[in-house]
A and B are shown apart, each in its own frame.
Chain A
C-alpha cells in the first residue's frame, strides 16, 4: 500500500493550501498566482494518479481511514477518507479537467484586473470538490459540499461590479441552499437511525450491511432528503433555475462548474450513498429510485427543449448540461450506477471542452455571446472549430470514436432493461434526438453559414487552444476503455475484472441510437442550413418558441409564487413590528411619560426648592465626571478594560 493511500487527504489539501497562498499575494503578482494555481493542480493530479494505481491491483479495492473529530459525552463524531474506484476515477477527471481549465484561464482572464483573486478561487473550488470525492463521512462530504457552494458563489459573482452577476451568484447560492437544507435534515436523520455518519467503517459504516439494517424502513425518506441536496447542486428540476444564470461568471468558471465540479457533486453524492437508495429494492425498484428517475426524465427533456430556443452560446451549453445531468440521474435511478458515473466522467471532459471552446469563440469575438451575430467561424478559428466539433459529437452521442457516445449508449441500455416500464427509455431516446438537434443548430449558427458580425474575429492564443486539444484527445482516448467490446471502466467501477468480447459490439440498440443521432443532426441541417435572422422554429411555431425561449416561464412562476409569498410574509412581519409591537411599546412609554409629567409637577413645586442647593453641588461634581464621558465608545471600553485589570490586581493582592 503506497503512502498516498494513507495520506489521501493531501489531494484536496494541496489546492486549498495553494489557494490560501495566492490570496496573500499582491494583485500585481499575476504570473506567480497563475503559476502557483497550476502547480497546485499538477501536484494534485500527480497524487491522484498515484492513488489511482493501487485501485487497479484488485477489483473492488477500498481503503478507508477514519479518525475521531471530537467526542461529546459518550458519542464520538468520526470523519474519514475513502479511496475506491469511484473516488479514484473522479479524482483523475477533476484534476485533469481542472488543470486544462486553469491553463485556459491564463489566456482568457489575461486582461482582468483581479487575475490573482480569480486563481485563488479556482484553486479553492477544485480543492473543495476533491474533498467531496474522497470524504468517507457524510458530514465531511457536507462540509466540502458547502465549500463548493461558497466557491461557486465567489466565482459566479466574480465580476461583482455587474449587477446581473451579483444577482446570479446570490440565486445560485440560495437555490442550492434550499436543497442543502434537505440534505442536512437527511444527514441528521441518518445519524439518528444508524448512529454513524461514516460510509465504510470495517462493517459498522452506514452503507454497510449492519448499518443498513439499523436504518431499515426510514431509508426511503433519508435517501429522498439527501437527494434534495443533489437536486439543488446538480441543477435538477425544480431547482435547475440557478444553473443557466450561473453563466454570468467568466467562461472558465462555467466550464469548471459544468464539467468537473459542482454539478458533478450531486450525481456523485447519489452514487456514493446508493445503498440507501436501493435498500429493500424489489426487482431493482424502490420509491426513492422512482423519484430519482422521474426528476431525471423531466429535467432531461425540459432542458433539451429549452436549449432549442436559446441564442446565447453559453446558455445553450448550460441547458445541455442540465439535460445530461438528468440523463445521469435516470441512469442511477434504473440501477446503472457505473453507467451514470461513466457518463459523468466522459461528460466532464467533453463539456469542459465545449465550454472552453465557447470561451475561445467569445474571446475571439470580443465578448460577444449571441450566436445570431456569429457565423462562418470555421475558417477563422480552425482549432476551436475542430475541437468544438469533437465535443459536439461527444455530446450528441455519436459512438465509435467518442466517449460520450458509448456512455450514452450504456445508459440507454440500462433504461431499456428497467423492469417496470419502457417509458423512461423512449423518453431518453427522444432526448438523444433533441440533443443532436440543438447542438447541430448551435454549430451551424456559430461556425457555418455566412459571416455576420465576425469581421475582426481571430483565433485564440496557444495557451487557450492547447487545453482544447488536450481535452479533445482525452475525450477520444477515453472511448477506448468504454466500448462494449472491452468495458474496462464499467468493470473497474463495478469492481469486476474486464474481459474482451468483440461480439458485444454488434447489437440492435447501437444501430437504433446511431440512427436517432443521424436523424437529429440531419434534421437540424435541413432546418437551420439557411437560417436567417429569425429562427426557423420561431417562424413555424412562434408561440412555442417564445414559451421555450422564456425558459418555460419557470423563473417568472417562482417569482410570482414562492418569492412573492416570502415577500408578503416579510412585509407582514415588518407591519407587525412597526405598528403592533411598536404600538405596545409606545403605549407603555406614553404611560411612563404621563406619570413623569405628574411627578415633575410635584417635584418642581414641592421638592425642588429645597433640593436646589444640594443639586448645585451635585451638578458641579457631575460636570467633573461628565468631562470623562467623551461619547467615544472606545474610551469607555478602555476604561472597562483598565477597571478589570485593577480588579485582577486587587484579587491577586488579596489572595
Chain B
C-alpha cells in the first residue's frame, strides 16, 4: 500500500517539478500559465493520493477537495488568460522578460 502511495507521490513531484521548470524557464506567458496548471495538477494528485491511501478514507472527501480545486483552477486560468490578453494588448508581446515594470 505504502509503495503505491509513494508511486503517486513520485509522479506528482515529477509533475510539480516539470511545471515549476516550465514556469521558471519559459518566456511566453501562456507557457508559464501551463506550468502553473501542471503544478496545480500535482497538488490535486497529492490530495487524491493521500485521501485514498490515508488512514481513514471517508468516501467523497478527497474527491470533493480535488474537484473544488479544479474548479478554482479553472477560474484562475480564466483570469490568467484574461491578464495575458490584456498584457498583449498593452505591450504587443507576451514575452515576460519585457514586463519588468515591477522593478524597484
Contact = CB atoms under 8 A, between A and B. Distances in A.
> Do the two chains bind?
yes
A641 B19 CA distance: 12
A627 B32 CA distance: 24
A637 B97 CA distance: 13
B97 to A, nearest CB: 6
A362 B101 CA distance: 56
Given A74-B59, A634-B32, A641 B24 contact: yes
Contacts of B97: 632
Contacts of B32: 633-634
Nearest to B104: A626
Contacts of A70: 63
A631 B24 contact: no
B104 A627 contact: yes
Contact of B63 (A72, A622, A638): A72
A652 interface: no
Interface in A44-72: 70, 72
Contacts of A73: 59-60
B99 A633 contact: yes
Nearest to B102: A631
Interface string B67-104: 00000000000000000000000000000110111111
A631 B99 CA distance: 7
Contacts of A634: 23-25, 32, 96
Interface in A106-130: none
Contact of B24 (A72, A629, A637): A637
Interface residues of B, number: 16
A638 B32 CA distance: 12
A625 B102 CA distance: 13
A633 B96 contact: yes
Interface in B13-63: 20, 23-25, 32, 59-60, 63
B100 A631 contact: yes
Contacts of B59: 72-74
A629 B104 contact: yes
A219 to B, nearest CB: 30
Interface string A608-632: 0000000000000010011111111
A600 B52 CA distance: 58
A275 B103 CA distance: 67
Contacts of A633: 32, 96, 99, 102
A412 to B, nearest CB: 51
Contacts of B20: 641
B25 to A, nearest CB: 8
Given A72-B60, A72-B63, A73-B59, A630 B24 contact: no
A409 B23 CA distance: 63
Nearest to B97: A632
A628 B103 CA distance: 9
Nearest to A629: B104
A419 to B, nearest CB: 49
Contact of B100 (A622, A632, A637): A632
Given A73-B59, A74-B59, A634-B32, A629 B102 contact: yes
B101 A631 contact: yes
A70 B23 CA distance: 31
Nearest to B101: A631
Given A634-B23, A638-B24, A641-B24, A625 B104 contact: yes
Contacts of B25: 634
17 contacts: A70-B63, A73-B59, A73-B60, A74-B59, A626-B103, A629-B102, A629-B103, A630-B100, A631-B101, A632-B103, A633-B96, A634-B24, A634-B25, A634-B32, A637-B23, A637-B24, A641-B20
Interface of B: 20, 23-25, 32, 59-60, 63, 96-97, 99-104
Interface of A: 70, 72-74, 622, 625-634, 637-638, 641
The 7 closest A-B pairs by CB, nearest first: A626-B104, A631-B103, A631-B100, A629-B104, A73-B60, A73-B59, A631-B102
Given A73-B60, A629-B104, 11 more contacts: A70-B63, A74-B59, A626-B103, A628-B104, A630-B100, A631-B100, A631-B101, A631-B102, A632-B96, A632-B97, A638-B24
